[in-house]
Chain A
Amino acid sequence: MGHTRLGDLPRTRRWGEVVGLLACGASTAQVANATITAAERGLNLAADDKALVETVWLLTQLPLAARAKDLKGFVGALRQAGLQVSDEPGVMEVVGAFSDAIDARVSNNGGRTDLGEMAQMAASETIAKVLGARTQSLFGTQPQDVQKALAGLATNKQFSEFSRQFFARITNRCLNYFLSRAVTYHLGEGRRFATLAQQAEFSGALEVHCREASKIVEDFSGGWLSKTNFEKGGISRDDARGFAHVAMRKLVDELKAGARPDAK
């Protein structure tokens, strides 16, 4: 029980280039570019993943629910969105209810892919990070403070940053999903990563690169939320699907451009 097995990258020309660049000491930006290029087809196949769409939709619902005038209204709005929370939810309860709501929506795994799974995890991580920072603690937080923290995300600026954090995480998870199959083949003396510390340094640089690349999403997220919510009186799952598509497309393009010396 608890057994884990790890895999390798396919031996195709595209993936061979990723492995070659890692071996030859290419920068994180160039490795990220080659990885996203090699993975693009598979990721495009997964772009309609129900869990990915539900995740993005629920992320938009959190700040909107928190705009309710009181705690009762906030809890009611969360339940309306599918988060089965108690009358006085703390931070970790919201994190757990968020994850369970996606699982309930995509029950029996129909149409789920690894991309949707990564999106779900990235969202849980982003909520824990943002609420943890805003409420000062993950444990024993008052429900009113949770509502206040989430309500603060409804502004253009704050939702943009929230969205950027989420997309940076999903991008980093995606790239590492592939690269972790190759990186440790370059571990050991005389290899690109002589030690585990050097491998961790590369992972850190990749994380920074993903955060930089996701700036492109920050630039339009806040405006999209306000505009769509104002014009349509709420955000539908179709709206969220469209937003997720555009955001992922922009991110892929940015990662490809990010390694180009001619990129802005």
Chain B
Amino acid sequence: MPNERAILCGSAPASGNWQAAKSLQLRLDDEVHLTSDDLSRPVSANIPTTFADLIEIATYVYVADQAVTRGGDGVENAGANWRRRLLFTIPVRNLEFWRKADVMTALVETLSFLSEDEYHFEFVDLAKPRPIQHYLPFSKTGMPQAIEEVVLFSGGLDSLGGAVQEVVRDKRGIALVNHRPTEKLSRRYRHMQELLAAKATEVGAPQPVHVPVHINKEKGLSREYTQRSRSFLYASIAATIAQAYDLSRIRFYENGVVSLNLPLSPQVVGAKATRTTHPRVLGGFARILSLVADRPFAVENPYIWKTKSEVVKHITDAGCGEFIKYTTSCTHPWELTKLKTHCGACSQCIDRRFAVLAAGAEALDPAEAYGVDLLLHARAEGESRTMLAAYVETASEVTKQSATEFFSRYGEVGRVVRHLDGSADMVALKIYELYQRHSRQVVKVVDEGIAAHATAIRNRELPDSCLLRLVCDIAIPLSVVSPTAAPATPPEPQLAMEDFVFRKKGQAWVVRYNGKPDFILLPSKGAAYLHLLLSSPRQFLSAVSMAYQVARVPQQFILSDAGERSDKEAQAAYRARYQELQEEMAQAEKDNDEATKKRVQGEMKIFADELKNRGWGGRPKKEHSDRDRVRKAVGIAIRRAVENIAEYDKELAEHFQPPRLCRGNSPVYHPDSDIDWDI
């Protein structure tokens, strides 16, 4: 098992069952610290010790999730290493409870779906149990008001919508459980807290209680960024607080599109699309919490049938629009400044900006706060452009799909339909409608952007890679393709292709043999040598001369990463050619051929200068060493090009075998019958 790790937690001894696995030791209060602010209520007596166990288990799982890397994104081994095998040994207070089959099954099934890893748990007796107050310090000062709901609060738009719903609309007393914001975000977060508190006073609702949770790990334990199990830890903490207040429910507020998280791109397979609040995960949390609390416990997402844009509308309709600019959605916090509060390039920023624009709330979330404008700014090559393209293309595709087309494109829906309330048919219909609404909202933003900037688009005044240019068909047609990173070229006239073709197309070669479909041969020296041979059929060419010709314009023939080797070969070719010229000169002197002497002298001067200028002179070598080296290099390059051709046209590769095509000192192309190559 390539990606397996035994996680020894607390004082747990190494397990005999998992001896083969590499181990990782985790100790709470040693490598890992979990703390929370005061909860203002002496309620710890209500909390069964199974909750303390749950918090510790969830902390260990979360920390291990970040400490064990996933081994790449899976291109080379179909994602085998993405799925880790995590073997936990965890000390607990209630050994009998955690060893129960139904508890173990609920834990393993939920976590393995959440993070797509393989989990095994071995529970052992905890020698020195800590009280729950160690993690959640309930104080003795008394509670200012009743808590009616415990809500997870990330500080993003959706969780703000949830807080607004609970406090402003429903006037309920709530506890907001959140990750304690970093220094960079704390000021924004404090503003939002103050606004929410003021709004609660204004509408006559109880003041919301904030419960910031802080997890501090040793530096070496933060190696894997995916953090798929994070929601399990926060759900465990929130549920413990709910239990303290005699509540049997917690709420995540997450819009349905993000909660279901259908993949934006075909490379996003399985849990590479996060399942943090997937209905099946929330169902699994509820199952675990019901067992831990020993009574029915619910985990809800009231926004499951809302789009993000509808959430924004919900916030503005409640008169809380000015809160929006203090929320943070960006997943690149290290890039943020006071003025640029969102990078604008990550998936979360793209999603947020579309939602805000679709809801007509751009005045409440100024464009200046984004590092990259959604519609008008150039997108850097790579993930930024890919992400935006995938997001818009997916939305555009969905708006055109019938229900059957939608479900036959997103098989991931199969994992949802039986895990939400209602019949599978009804749930499926609601999912289809949710995605239709979301996609129409995205497309509307793009359409309105095009209309508003029509003149700039037509005049090509906007950057090439901005969204509005990428969605408009005013650029070069597909049939005219220019090489990567090359400037746009005017369309070439499309001529009927001959039956035998070996000619340049951009940097590459287009090849056709005997009237069969043409194919592309990527630039290589071997292809260039073949081209020289086909250009002079039945003529013996000098390998040195061929190498020299190709080396004179190496940028046309070599792949970019072959530079160093090609320089060495070119150096040898230059020297060998110089030696050939020396021989010609000797012969010309012998024959007293003045014309040849003059020509050869001129050529020799050019080579001598070239060798001197490029520092290629070096110590003169024996005559044969360079010639042999060049002959071998030319022969190998031709052979590789023919092998490459064999992958696309075996018959042509066979045609390029001896005696029709010979390598050596004097390569020659000698077809059985004359072929009129279009070269």
Q: Which residues of A contact B (CB under 8 A)?
A: 1-10, 15-17, 20-21, 23-27, 29-30, 33-34, 37, 39, 41-43, 45-46, 49, 90-93, 95-100, 103, 107-110, 112-115, 117-118, 120-126, 128-129, 132-133, 138-141, 173, 176-181, 184-202, 256, 259-262
Contacts and interface: CB of A to CB of B under 8 A. Distances in A.
A15 B76 CA distance: 10
A92 B428 CA distance: 7
Interface in B371-404: 381-383, 385-387, 389-390, 392-393, 396-397, 403-404
Contacts of A173: 266
Contacts of A95: 407, 413-414, 417, 424, 428
Nearest to A178: B75
Nearest to B330: A3
A7 B75 contact: yes
Interface in B401-446: 403-404, 407-418, 423-429
A66 to B, nearest CB: 18
Given A5-B383, A185-B382, A259-B648, A43 B78 contact: yes
Contact of B424 (A25, A96, A118, A123): A96
A190 B259 contact: no
B535 interface: no
Interface in B74-89: 74-80, 82-83, 85
Given A1-B254, A107-B112, A180-B265, A20 B559 contact: yes
B276 A187 contact: no
A117 B269 contact: yes
Contact of A188 (B108, B156, B272, B385): B385
A97 to B, nearest CB: 7
Interface string B117-136: 11110000000000000000
Contacts of B381: 185, 188
B73 interface: yes
B254 A45 contact: no
Given A90-B425, A194-B476, A25 B269 contact: no
B364 interface: no
Given A114-B78, A132-B407, A139-B426, 6 more contacts: A7-B267, A24-B508, A92-B428, A113-B83, A180-B266, A195-B471
- Interface residues of A, dominant DSSP: helix
Interface residues of B, number: 119
A26 B518 CA distance: 9
A30 B390 contact: no
8 smallest beta-carbon distances between A and B, as pairs: A261-B516, A121-B411, A25-B481, A2-B258, A99-B414, A114-B79, A194-B475, A176-B266
B476 A188 contact: no
Contacts of A109: 83, 112, 116-118
A3 B348 contact: yes
Nearest to A3: B331
B109 interface: yes
B488 interface: yes
B470 A128 contact: no
A259 B519 contact: yes
B270 interface: yes
Contacts of A41: 76
Contacts of B347: 2-5
A195 B519 contact: no
Interface string B482-518: 1111111000000000000000011110001110111
Contacts of B119: 108
Nearest to B252: A1
Contacts of A1: 154, 156, 158, 231, 254, 258, 274, 276-277
A17 to B, nearest CB: 6
B390 A128 contact: no
Contacts of A25: 481, 505-506, 508, 520
B454 interface: no
Interface string B521-532: 011000000000
A24 B481 contact: yes
Interface of B: 73-80, 82-83, 85, 108-109, 112-113, 116-120, 154, 156, 158, 231, 254, 258-259, 261, 263-270, 272-274, 276-277, 331, 346-348, 351, 381-383, 385-387, 389-390, 392-393, 396-397, 403-404, 407-418, 423-429, 464-465, 469-473, 475-478, 481-488, 505-508, 512-514, 516-520, 522-523, 559, 561, 647-651
A124 B83 contact: no
Contacts, number: 321
A2 B649 contact: no
Contact of B390 (A6, A9, A114): A6
A95 to B, nearest CB: 5
A27 B519 contact: yes
A65 B74 CA distance: 36
A33 B647 contact: yes
B476 A190 contact: yes
B451 to A, nearest CB: 18
Given A3-B347, A6-B390, A10-B75, A24 B267 contact: no
Contacts of B488: 189-190
Contacts of B113: 103
Given A3-B348, A114-B78, A128-B408, A139 B112 contact: no
A198 B393 CA distance: 11
A139 B432 CA distance: 11
A150 to B, nearest CB: 16
A165 to B, nearest CB: 9
A195 B254 contact: no
A184 B75 contact: no
A114 B269 CA distance: 6
A98 B116 CA distance: 19
24 contacts: A1-B274, A3-B331, A4-B273, A4-B274, A4-B387, A7-B73, A16-B561, A96-B415, A96-B416, A96-B418, A97-B418, A107-B108, A107-B112, A109-B112, A109-B118, A110-B118, A117-B79, A128-B414, A138-B428, A181-B267, A187-B470, A190-B486, A196-B389, A261-B517
A46 B79 CA distance: 9
A196 B470 contact: yes
A43 B150 CA distance: 46
A102 to B, nearest CB: 9
Nearest to B73: A7
A24 B407 contact: no
A194 B389 CA distance: 12
Contacts of A46: 77-78, 80
B78 A42 contact: yes
B258 A181 contact: no
Given A24-B522, A110-B118, A92 B415 contact: no
Given A7-B267, A24-B507, A139-B425, A99 B411 contact: yes
Contacts of B424: 90, 92-93, 95-96
- Give the one of A10, A92, A133 with max B CB within 10 A: A92
A125 B346 contact: no
A97 B518 CA distance: 47
A190 B469 CA distance: 12
Given A2-B258, A189-B469, A117 B270 contact: yes
Contacts of A126: 408
A16 B403 CA distance: 39
Contacts of B393: 196, 199-200
B639 to A, nearest CB: 16
Given A189-B476, A194-B478, A123 B513 contact: no
B163 to A, nearest CB: 15
Contacts of A2: 254, 258-259, 261, 274, 276-277, 347-348, 351
